[in-house]
């Protein structure tokens, strides 16, 4: 497949409400989109890096620079997604940038073949159950109102962001208000240390599905120690940057669940490797979110339809984050989203909307 050109496009989308986690508050998304052009088709990818290096060392400006200076020039003149992955592997890190570029190439490749991403990855479902991530609030009553709204919308699982000082009380309040049947989990975004194990053990009383990334992202060993001290299952997010990281975590007993974010681990091909590894070892999976537009959301929904993704993911409806998405909106139906059936990722940006929110474009010829 000959790549004739690559466009880097920046867009700005305000969030419908501020989204607060233990590492910061997001009010808008500065998104880097990648468009790959070939004689047969065009493909889209979305870089999930934030505009500041808070969630990970990557950030939007850095991802764009890595692509223009190193990653795009390294691509062979004729390349499919697999060949692109091999060419990019020699560059250390920059997984989010690599994932966006690989996804755009894969999208073009599959569109030319009239094959959907879900079919290519091995999806076994036409719709996937959806959970929602609820940020840290200013008060417990505000949190309860937010959760009530999401439950009314039909979300089948609620995830609460937590941090020291905002953990036991809000979780207890949600559990008491909505009862034991609500699928409930928490996400710490690495806000605790092993010294907090007694407090984290206090969450065991609430029948949670899991606690996500309680400790530092670079400390799999201490997660294994924590797993022996609490009964709530541990799920790793930031710690898993590749199938090799997943294998190490599983071997050490650091987690029994993995949150797969394709952007964090370098793309959908690596996500499928993590899926196959985890499934072989009986480790449950779910697909996480990074406040994606419809471009990234479409690909995530396809991934979440693989058989090893047995827990509801953060593949929420478009309106959870954006008043107007850049693609036709993803709509929740009976707590599920439909897996796009069209070729490639199965969706296209709406040109008028895309132009309205675009802040810059850069064309890299081949």
- Domain of residue 142 covers 119-338
Residue 155 belongs to some domain of the structure:
yes
Q: Do 330 and 208 fall into the same domain?
A: yes
Say what the pLDDT of residue 84 is: 95
- What is the mean pLDDT of the segment spanning 35-44? 96
- Output the domain CATH number for residue 96: 3.30.390.10
Say what the pLDDT of residue 366 is: 61
Q: Do 109 and 15 fall into the same domain?
A: yes
- What is the mean pLDDT of the segment spanning 110-118? 98
Q: Do 142 and 11 fall into the same domain?
A: no
φ/ψ (deg, to 5) at 18: -60, 145
Lowest mean pLDDT among 9-23, 173-187, 318-332: 9-23
Per the confidence metrics, is the pTM higher than 0.85? Answer: yes
Is residue 365 predicted with pLDDT exceeding 80?
no
To the query of whether residue 161 is one of the catalytic residues in this protein, the response is: yes
Say what the pLDDT of residue 200 is: 98
Residue 343 belongs to some domain of the structure:
no
- What is the mean pLDDT of the segment spanning 2-16? 95
> How far is residue 249 from each of residues 42, 188, 220, 285, measured CA to CA in Å?
37, 18, 6, 14
Q: How many domains does the chain have?
A: 2
Residues contacting 334, CB < 8 A, separation 6+? 154
Residues contacting 11, CB < 8 A, separation 6+? 30, 31, 33, 293, 326, 354, 357, 358, 359
Q: Do 311 and 328 fall into the same domain?
A: yes
Q: Do 153 and 82 fall into the same domain?
A: no
pLDDT-derived band at 23 (thresholds 50, 70, 90) equals confident
**For helices 268-280 and 243-252, angle between their N-to-C axes, nearest 10 degrees:** 20
Catalytic residue among 2, 98, 159, 261: 261
Residue 126 belongs to some domain of the structure:
yes
Is residue 254 predicted with pLDDT exceeding 70?
yes
- What is the mean pLDDT of the segment spanning 47-64? 94
Residue 162 belongs to some domain of the structure:
yes
In terms of phi and psi (left: phi > 0; alpha: psi -120 to 50; beta: otherwise), the region of 193 is beta
Q: Do 184 and 317 fall into the same domain?
A: yes
Lowest mean pLDDT among 22-26, 63-67, 228-232: 22-26
Q: Do 148 and 45 fall into the same domain?
A: no
The C-alpha angle with vertex 96 and arms to 186 and 262, in degrees rounded to 5, equals 55
Mean pLDDT of the chain: 96
β pairing state of 284-287 and 257-260: parallel
**pLDDT (tens digit, 9 = 90+) per residue, 290-335?**
999 999 999 999 999 999 999 999 999 999 999 999 999 999 999 9
Q: In this prediction, what percent of the chain has a pLDDT beyond 70? A: 100
- What is the mean pLDDT of the segment spanning 135-148? 96
Q: Do 326 and 178 fall into the same domain?
A: yes
Nearest-angstrom CA–CA distance, 184 and 180: 9
- What is the mean pLDDT of the segment spanning 216-238? 96
Q: Do 258 and 292 fall into the same domain?
A: yes
Residue 100 belongs to some domain of the structure:
yes
Residue 315 belongs to some domain of the structure:
yes
Nearest to 344 by CA among 40, 3, 75: 40
Is residue 20 predicted with pLDDT exceeding 90?
no
Say what the pLDDT of residue 19 is: 84
Is residue 187 predicted with pLDDT exceeding 80?
yes
Catalytic residue among 92, 98, 159, 161: 161
Nearest to 134 by CA among 51, 287, 18: 18
Residue 344 belongs to some domain of the structure:
no
**pLDDT (tens digit, 9 = 90+) per residue, 340-354?**
999 999 999 999 999
To the query of whether residue 261 is one of the catalytic residues in this protein, the response is: yes
Residue 244 belongs to some domain of the structure:
yes
In terms of phi and psi (left: phi > 0; alpha: psi -120 to 50; beta: otherwise), the region of 204 is alpha
Q: Do 123 and 105 fall into the same domain?
A: no
- Output the domain CATH number for residue 284: 3.20.20.120
């Amino acid at each position: 497949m000959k790549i004739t050109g690559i466009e880097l496009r920046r867009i700005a989308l305000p969030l419908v409400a501020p989204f607060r986690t233990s590492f910061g508050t997001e009010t808008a998304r500065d998104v880097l989109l990648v468009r790959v052009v070939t004689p047969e088709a065009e493909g889209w990818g979305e870089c999930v890096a934030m505009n500041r290096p808070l969630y990970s060392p990557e950030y939007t400006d850095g991802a764009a620079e890595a692509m223009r200076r190193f990653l795009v020039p390294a691509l062979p003149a004729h390349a499919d997604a697999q060949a692109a992955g091999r060419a990019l592997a020699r560059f250390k890190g920059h997984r989010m940038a690599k994932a966006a570029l690989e996804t755009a190439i894969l999208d073009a490749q599959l569109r030319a073949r009239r094959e959907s991403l879900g079919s290519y990855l091995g999806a076994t479902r036409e719709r996937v159950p959806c959970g929602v991530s609820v940020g840290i609030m200013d008060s417990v009553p505000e949190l309860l109102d937010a959760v009530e709204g999401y439950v009314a919308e039909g979300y089948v699982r609620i995830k609460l962001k937590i941090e020291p000082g905002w953990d036991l009380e809000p979780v207890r309040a949600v559990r008491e208000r909505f009862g034991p049947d609500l699928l409930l989990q928490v996400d710490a975004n690495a806000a605790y240390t092993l010294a907090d194990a007694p407090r984290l053990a206090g969450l065991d009383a609430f029948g949670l599905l899991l606690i996500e990334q309680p400790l530092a992202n670079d400390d799999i060993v201490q997660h294994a120690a924590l797993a022996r001290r609490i009964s709530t299952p541990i799920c790793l997010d930031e710690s898993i940057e590749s199938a090799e990281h997943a294998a190490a975590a599983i071997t050490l007993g650091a987690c029994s669940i993995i949150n797969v974010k394709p952007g964090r681990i370098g793309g959908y091909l690596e996500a499928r490797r993590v899926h196959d590894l985890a499934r072989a070892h009986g480790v449950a999976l779910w697909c996480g979110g990074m406040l994606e537009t419809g471009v990234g959301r479409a690909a995530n929904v396809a991934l979440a339809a693989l058989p090893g993704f047995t827990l509801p993911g953060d593949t929420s409806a478009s309106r959870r984050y954006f008043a107007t998405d850049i693609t036709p909106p993803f709509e929740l139906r009976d707590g599920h989203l439909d897996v796009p059936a069209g070729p490639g990722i199965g969706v296209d940006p709406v040109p008028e909307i895309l132009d309205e929110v675009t802040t810059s474009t850069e064309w890299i010829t081949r």
